[in-house]
Structure 1
Amino acid sequence: MGTGGKLYLYPLWLRIWHAINALGILALIFSGISLHYSGRGFLLLKFETAIALHNMAGVLVSANYFLFVLGNIMTKNGKYYRVKVPGLSKRIKKQIQYYVSGIFKGEEPPYPVSEKRKFNPLQKYSYIFIMYFFLPLLIVTGFALFFPEIIMEQVFRVSGVMLTAVLHSVSGFLVFIFLLIHLYVASLGKSPSDNFRSILNGWHG
């Protein structure tokens, strides 16, 4: 519950996790881009520095991910990720219509933040896909590339290492796109900085 119409939606553990995850993901993006284009003369970081940073950030994000999963199991934060199938397409369509036109007309959001609902339908299911599918895929393929001897030599006549690298790159790219969208949606609060303050102090409203 909150005071003065505010809701305490971001407990300390979640804010710490969010900060570590954000820094780790940014480090992975910059070092990953540098590694990906290292052979073409485009370097954000020196090759050796990029490898060391990418590996350290990967371990950090992986360990931090278990904090996220454990926190959702042990606290009420997990309820915000529960899937509700009945009426799902209707809720998503309604939220899309709001983002496409309603928000520009000054309409009230169809699914405002409350103690029972922290995310609108589009946010909720995009978070579920990223946090419970693509981020784990990024972590698993990252560790496989770190220990390539555990990768199958061939999968359907395709190099196992190459397939793992492609999956790692694709999942990393999708996480990067999600980050950009996440930052944009976060700016759609009462003011552009409102949601950013919330993740710093824990209070929404």
Structure 2
Amino acid sequence: MTTEGKIYLYPVWLRIWHALNALGILVLIYTGLNMQFAKPGFELIRFDLAVTLHNYAGIIVSISYLMFFIGNMITSNKKFYRIKPKGLRKRLFKQARYYVYGMFKNEAPPYPISEKRKFNPIQKYTYVAVMYLLVPVIIITGIALLFPELIIEEAYNMSGIFLTALLHAIIGFFISIFLIIHLYFATIGKKPTSNFKSIVTGWH
């Protein structure tokens, strides 16, 4: 849907999911860091409170992910995540060149947003990897750590709980890096606040 040069890209359900997911992940990162690095005499917040908040935030993010997954299955939003391997390398290179050179020379974006294209090639494949690979893994390992009786006792002569916790922490690290990059690229628009305004109003 378009009107007066604007495109309606973010329906209400997607904006609700985005808000829940963003808040939940921020709480998970904050509490996760506290749980990882807390030691006697140094805690960002009480350890037991960090664990409780982490668990509740994880449940909220898991439920919101289910909203995202179902929403992408039954609405037109799924078209933005379709994989198109043909010519992928060329498209990725073209977009990468724009990020490292073109945008600093005020060149036009090679893949501008339209009704048919919400993401440029780098965004699309990064989002697909995060939303359909990393997030499911961190949810599954999080559920396993919440109910450790589900985890096998030993794998490769190592504690199953330790390996699960290690995988959970590694994926959490990558999602944290993604969030930082995501926030930076969100400032790349007509104005630094344009994309943030779009996710609030729904209109790009």
* TM-score for both structures, normalised by structure 2: 0.98
Q: Supply the AA of the counterpart residue of 1:6.
A: K
1:38 aligns with 2:38: yes
> Does structure 2 retain, via aligned residues, the 8 Å contact 1:98–1:109?
yes
C-alpha separation in 2, matches of 1:70 and 1:199 = 19
What is the match of residue 132 of structure 2? 132
C-alpha separation in 2, matches of 1:42 and 1:69 = 39
1:66 aligns with 2:35: no
C-alpha separation in 2, matches of 1:96 and 1:78 = 24
> Does structure 2 retain, via aligned residues, the 8 Å contact 1:34–1:42?
no
C-alpha separation in 1, matches of 2:62 and 2:139 = 6
Consecutive unaligned residues in structure 1, runs of 5 or more: none
C-alpha separation in 2, matches of 1:74 and 1:49 = 38
Consecutive unaligned residues in structure 2, runs of 5 or more: none
Change in 2 beyond 3 A, CA 1:49/1:105? same
C-alpha separation in 1, matches of 2:63 and 2:164 = 21
What is the match of residue 175 of structure 2? 175
Quote how far apart the aligned CAs of 1:179 are. Answer: 0.4
Structure 1's consecutive aligned runs of 4 or more residues displaced over 2 angstroms after TM superposition are: 39-42
C-alpha separation in 1, matches of 2:42 and 2:13 = 38
Quote how far apart the aligned CAs of 1:42 are. Answer: 3.3
C-alpha separation in 1, matches of 2:79 and 2:59 = 27
* TM-score for both structures, normalised by structure 1: 0.97
Quote how far apart the aligned CAs of 1:154 are. Answer: 1.5
> Does structure 2 retain, via aligned residues, the 8 Å contact 1:80–1:117?
yes
What is the match of residue 186 of structure 1? 186
Q: Supply the AA of the counterpart residue of 2:83.
A: V
Cα deviation digits, residues 74-132 of structure 1 (max 9, x gap) = 10001101100000111001110000100100000000000000000000010001100
Cα deviation digits, residues 8-61 of structure 1 (max 9, x gap) = 000000000000000000010001001001126432211111011000000000
What is the match of residue 50 of structure 1? 50
Q: Supply the AA of the counterpart residue of 2:74.
A: M
Change in 2 beyond 3 A, CA 1:81/1:40? farther
What is the match of residue 102 of structure 1? 102
Taking every aligned residue pair, what percent have the same amino acid on both sides?
A: 56
State the superposition RMSD in angstroms.
Answer: 0.9
Q: Supply the AA of the counterpart residue of 1:60.
A: I
C-alpha separation in 2, matches of 1:146 and 1:169 = 14
C-alpha separation in 1, matches of 2:41 and 2:155 = 32
What is the match of residue 77 of structure 2? 77
Question: Could you say what secondary structure the match of 1:63 adopts?
Answer: helix
What is the match of residue 165 of structure 1? 165
Q: Supply the AA of the counterpart residue of 1:131.
A: M
C-alpha separation in 2, matches of 1:184 and 1:41 = 34
